[in-house]
Amino acid sequence: MLNPIWLHTFKTLIEVGHFTQTAEKLYMTQPGVSQQIKKLEQACGHPLIKRINKQFEITEQGRQVYQYARDLTQHEHKLMESLSFDDPFSGQCRLSCSGSLALLYYPKLLKLQAKYPALSVHLEAAPNYKVLKDIAETNIDIGVVTHKPSASEFYIEPLGLEPLCLIMPKRFEGQTINSQTLINCGVVKHPDSAHYLSLYFDQCGDREFAELNIEKLPTASYVNQLSQILLPVSQGIGFTVLPKSTFDSFIHKDSLSLHNPKVQVTEQLYLVHKRNRELPARYQTIEKILKESVSHQTIS
């Protein structure tokens, strides 16, 4: 490892351009400056400057060492700034959540980033298990999940309730929806459809729906791309159950209708991060957006 004191002396010499002035700036003697430069050259195995009387020219190897010394100084400054200054509107924020929540959060986070350009948002859509795995391995810093994880490994905060919707083609708007209607319509399936269907049928307050066997519902279509799930429904093909945030973000939602349940169906959301890990102040700004976004979701 190159001696950082020698590197600093060499960097100062190149920037000042004179041995005597370098010595004055560093509170050294001129022979002391010369000795440190020679030691640095010996450590590098190459001449770093070409001496011409009382002047010098930097060699190609010297240019590389000078750039290295500059980089070290810049890295040190950045480190000291990060240790002593925690700006709530600056730095990278890494978070993860479901695809439906990503559709809800991302536009709001981008709006925040446009307001504070020094803030950088890294958002990843992932299932619950992947969110928790990435937090545990510090690949991301905070996440939103729908299943409460182990309190011994994670800090857990109830974030709010995400409404679930049974979404039908427009032609069913205002009609009474029963189990036979759903069977005749067929379900548009997706990776989370069994989970959402079970949750909705169990909690919506309709005994007829609760008695439906979701495994025997006819399949109208299947797609694993979140942004495409409502496309067949908007074209009159099938029904599905999804978070309200997915419905709200769909561009053709005027071609859809929502079932009006006796009891609103919701799914609990949890904000999580690694236990005993102190997060920078900027995450308080992000968490505020996450909480406000969920609290504003309603079924109309």
Q: Map out the domains of the chain with their CATH numbers.
A: 4-84 (1.10.10.10), 91-159+270-295 (3.40.190.10), 162-266 (3.40.190.10)
Query: Residue 230 pLDDT > 50, yes or no?
Result: yes
Query: Residue 300 pLDDT > 90, yes or no?
Result: no
Res 296: pLDDT: 56
Predicted structure pTM score: 0.66
Residues whose CB is less than 8 angstroms from the CB of residue 126 and which lie 6 or more positions away in sequence, other chains included: 96, 97, 98, 134
Residue 250 sits at the vertex; the CA angle it makes with 247 and 251, to the nearest 5 degrees, is 145
Residues whose CB is less than 8 angstroms from the CB of residue 239 and which lie 6 or more positions away in sequence, other chains included: 166, 167, 168, 169, 182, 185, 186, 187, 188, 220, 233
Q: Which of 49-53, 75-79, 205-209, 289-293 has the highest mean pLDDT?
A: 205-209
Q: Please write the tens of the pLDDT for every residue from 5-59.
A: 999 999 999 999 999 999 998 989 999 999 999 999 999 999 999 988 778 999 9
Weakest-pLDDT range from 58-67, 68-77, 159-168: 68-77
Q: Please write the tens of the pLDDT for every residue from 104-162.
A: 899 999 999 999 998 889 999 888 999 999 999 888 999 999 989 988 999 999 999 99
What average pLDDT does the segment 285-298 reach?
A: 79
Res 90: pLDDT: 85
HSE (CB half, 13 Å, CA atoms) of 293? 25
What average pLDDT does the segment 260-276 reach?
A: 94
**Mean pLDDT computed over every residue of the chain:** 91
